[in-house]
C-alpha cells in the first residue's frame, strides 16, 4: 500500500501503450501521480495527451502496460474482473461529457441503474434515486425522460447517477464540454458542493480554464508526462 493513507489514488511508474498497426503507441510514460482524499483535482492538457486513458486506468477499466495503480486501498492489478466490477460499483461515480443517459428510462430510473450492481436492496433503490435527484435540485423532474430535459438538467441527472452509490471518488471527463456557460456553472457549483460538503474526491478532466478554477488543484498532462 502507499506510504500515505491519505492518498486515495496512487500511481507509480505507470506506462500505457496501445498496439497500433503493429507498432506500440506509448501514451503514458512511467507516470507517478497521486490524488489526496478530499481533493478536487482538475486535469488539463492537449487533446490526445492521455487524460481519458489515465482516468480509465484509475477506474480499472483498462490495465497499464507497466506500473502500479492503487485506488481507495485497492491494488487494482491484484483484482480479478469480478472484484474490479465490485470496486467500481462501490467506490466510483462517473460523469461523462455526453451524459450517457439511457433514453428509454426516466431520470429516476437512470439514476437508480448503478445500484443494480451493488447490494442495495430493490426496495431502497427508488428512495436513493430520489434523494440523489434532490441533491442536484431535480426533485421535480424524476419522471421526465432525457429528451424532456435540457442539456444542463441531463448532466445534473448524470451527476445524481454518479453519487447514488455514495462513492468516495467521482471521475468526470469534460463534464461541461457540451454545456452553455450557465449550465456549466450549475454543474461546477454542484461538483464543488459534493467536494466541500460531502467530502467527495473529484478528478475532473477539462479544457475549460473557468472549470479548472473551481478545483483545489490543477495538474497538466502533456506528452504522457505530468507537469
Ligand X SMILES: Nc1ncnc2c1ncn2[C@@H]1O[C@H](COP(=O)(O)OP(=O)(O)OP(=O)(O)O)[C@@H](O)[C@H]1O
Residues contributing to the site for ligand X (CB under 6 A): 18, 20, 25, 27, 45, 47-53
Q: Which residues pair with 218 in a beta bridge?
A: 42
Contact between 52 and Mg ion by CB under 5 A: the answer reads yes
Binder of residue 196, out of ligand X, Mg ion, none (CB less than 5 to 8 A by kind): none
CB of 151 to ligand X, least distance (A): 19
Nearer to ligand X, 4 or 222 (CB): 222
Binder of residue 152, out of ligand X, Mg ion, none (CB less than 5 to 8 A by kind): none
Closest CA to 28 of 10, 12, 7, 8: 12
Nearer to ligand X, 49 or 106 (CB): 49
Burial class of residue 112 in the structure, from the number of CB atoms within 10 Å of its CB (0-12 exposed, 13-18 middle, 19+ buried): buried
Nearer to ligand X, 41 or 136 (CB): 41
Nearer to ligand X, 50 or 175 (CB): 50
Binder of residue 88, out of ligand X, Mg ion, none (CB less than 5 to 8 A by kind): none
Nearer to Mg ion, 52 or 153 (CB): 52
Sheet of strand 92-96: strand arrangement: 92-96, 169-173, 201-205, 40-44, 217-222, 225-226
Cα 160 to the center of its chain, rounded Å: 12
CB of 172 to ligand X, least distance (A): 13
CB of 226 to ligand X, least distance (A): 12
- Please give the Cα distance from 67 to 16 (Å, whole number): 9
* C-alpha dihedral sign at 207, 209, 211, 212: positive
Binder of residue 122, out of ligand X, Mg ion, none (CB less than 5 to 8 A by kind): none
**Is 32:11 a contact under the CB 8 Å cutoff?**
yes
Binder of residue 128, out of ligand X, Mg ion, none (CB less than 5 to 8 A by kind): none
CB of 216 to ligand X, least distance (A): 21
CB of 200 to Mg ion, least distance (A): 21
Binder of residue 18, out of ligand X, Mg ion, none (CB less than 5 to 8 A by kind): ligand X
- Please give the Cα distance from 227 to 220 (Å, whole number): 5
Closest CA to 53 of 67, 40, 36: 67
CA of 184: how far to CAs of 18, 151, 153, 154, in Å? 33, 10, 10, 12
Nearer to Mg ion, 98 or 148 (CB): 98
CB of 206 to ligand X, least distance (A): 9
Dihedral class, residue 225 (left if φ above 0, else alpha if ψ from -120 to 50, else beta): beta
Q: Which residues of this protein are in contact with Mg ion, per CB under 5 A?
A: 52
Amino acid at each position: 500500500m502507499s506510504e500515505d493513507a491519505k492518498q486515495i489514488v496512487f500511481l507509480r511508474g505507470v506506462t500505457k501503450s496501445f498496439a497500433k498497426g503493429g507498432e506500440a503507441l506509448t501514451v503514458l510514460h512511467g507516470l507517478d501521480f497521486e490524488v489526496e482524499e478530499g481533493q478536487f483535482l482538475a486535469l488539463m492538457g492537449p487533446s490526445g495527451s492521455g487524460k481519458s486513458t489515465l482516468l480509465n486506468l484509475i477506474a480499472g477499466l483498462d490495465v497499464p502496460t507497466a506500473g502500479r495503480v492503487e485506488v481507495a486501498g485497492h491494488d487494482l492489478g491484484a483484482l480479478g474482473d469480478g472484484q474490479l466490477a465490485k470496486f467500481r460499483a462501490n467506490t466510483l461515480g462517473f460523469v461523462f461529457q455526453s451524459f450517457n443517459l439511457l433514453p428509454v428510462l426516466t431520470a429516476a430510473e437512470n439514476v437508480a441503474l448503478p445500484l443494480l450492481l451493488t447490494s442495495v436492496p430493490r426496495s431502497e433503490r427508488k428512495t436513493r434515486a430520489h434523494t440523489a435527484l434532490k441533491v442536484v435540485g431535480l426533485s421535480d423532474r424524476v419522471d421526465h425522460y432525457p429528451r424532456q430535459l435540457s442539456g444542463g438538467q441531463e448532466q445534473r441527472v448524470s451527476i445524481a447517477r454518479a453519487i447514488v452509490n455514495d462513492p468516495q471518488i467521482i471521475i468526470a471527463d469534460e463534464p461541461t464540454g457540451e454545456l452553455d456557460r450557465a449550465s456549466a456553472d450549475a454543474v461546477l457549483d454542484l461538483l464543488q458542493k459534493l467536494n466541500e460538503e460531502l467530502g467527495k474526491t473529484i478528478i475532473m478532466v477539462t479544457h475549460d480554464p473557468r472549470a479548472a478554477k473551481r478545483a483545489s488543484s490543477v495538474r497538466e498532462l502533456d506528452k504522457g508526462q505530468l507537469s
